Amino acid sequence: MSIIEVQHLSKTYEYYRKQAGLLNSVKSLFHREKLFTEAVKDISISINEGELVGFLGPNGAGKTTTLKMLSGILYPTKGTATVLGHTPWKREPTFQKQFALVMGQKNQLWWDLPAMESFLLNKEIYEVPDADFTKTLDELTELLDIKHILDIQVRKLSLGERMKCELAAALLHSPKVLFLDEPTIGLDVVSQNNIREFLKKYNREKKITIILTSHYMDDVAALCERVVIINFGQLIYDGSLRALLDKHVDHKIIEMTFTEPVTKTKLQKFGRIKEWAEQRAILEVPKIEVKTVATDILRELPVDDILINEISVDDVIRNIFSAHRKR
């Protein structure tokens, strides 16, 4: 069942250009050059109940603007959208109690108070019954492993601990839709993995619909079977991550170390050289040839160790952005 329906959604920002200096400031009182930026251009997507969708794009692509429209913070310039059957920017109380928005660069917790104080405030704002609040809080603190930090001032918590508390605060009213904007930004590798594992488990158990934006492709690869990609405000891909990789990746990476120096000349016949040192090399090899090439390398070169890897999701997405920019 479709939970989110977006049809031809667009958002244009209006702004003015003013030259520096006192004279130009005076001139701008009488005449200003008006300019427009299309942050989102004619996007149409449909997301079903329980899906965990990666929403990707470079900085300035329109991801956050789209999430703000879907959560009712911004009004669109054109187009329509429904979330859980509601028009988000009408900001109906029944809708606002059914979704949550977590932004990695913005805090919803009170900085100088323990997280528990913010949890209790959210309980009253969302009118969560006492029994439901206690049950949900126990579940979330157990899953996120934050029971021991609930009474510590938020400003004294680590970044990873704060983000866990932010997630708990957003989920206390058991929303049906969760918008996550860069939830792991700035976190260390361990904290990123903890957040991913929580989201994966929570999505599986609660069937909550999640839209995730992230610049960490490990987040997307670990969590999302489907990705939506936008660039310059335009939708450029909507489909499975696996299909995207299959379509745009026609080669694999072979990493080798050698027991003695090997020249570039000897390596060139096996594939395109990405990196080279006398006793180490990385090659790009067509997928269909990789087994044959690896066998030839082992037979002809003094190999100490060899690894065959897929192209990283990060590189694939970067190449897609670059190709779209050149059009």
**Mean pLDDT for each 10-residue chunk of the chain (327 residues)?**
92 84 79 85 94 88 91 94 95 93 83 93 93 94 91 91 92 94 83 89 92 84 90 89 82 91 90 90 90 92 90 74 63
Cβ atoms 297, 284 nearer than 8 A: no
Tokens of 42: 């004619």
Contacting residues for 29 by C-beta, under 8 A, at least 6 apart: none
Q: Which CATH number fits domain 250-309: 3.40.50.920, 3.30.70.980, 3.40.50.970, 3.30.479.30?
A: 3.30.70.980
Q: Looking at residue 326, what is its pLDDT?
A: 56
Q: Which regions of the chain does DSSP assign to beta strands (E)?
A: 2-17, 33-48, 52-56, 78-83, 99-103, 177-181, 209-213, 226-231, 234-240, 251-258, 272-277, 280-286, 303-309
Cβ atoms 46, 5 nearer than 8 A: yes
Q: Looking at residue 327, what is its pLDDT?
A: 58
Cβ atoms 267, 74 nearer than 8 A: no
Strands 280-286 and 251-258: antiparallel
One-letter amino acid at 21 equals G
What residue spans in the chain does CATH classification 3.30.70.980 cover? Answer: 250-309
Q: Looking at residue 221, what is its pLDDT?
A: 84
CATH topology of domain 2-246: Rossmann fold (3.40.50)
What residue spans in the chain does CATH classification 3.40.50.300 cover? Answer: 2-246
Give the whole-angstrom CA distance, residue 47 versus residue 239: 11
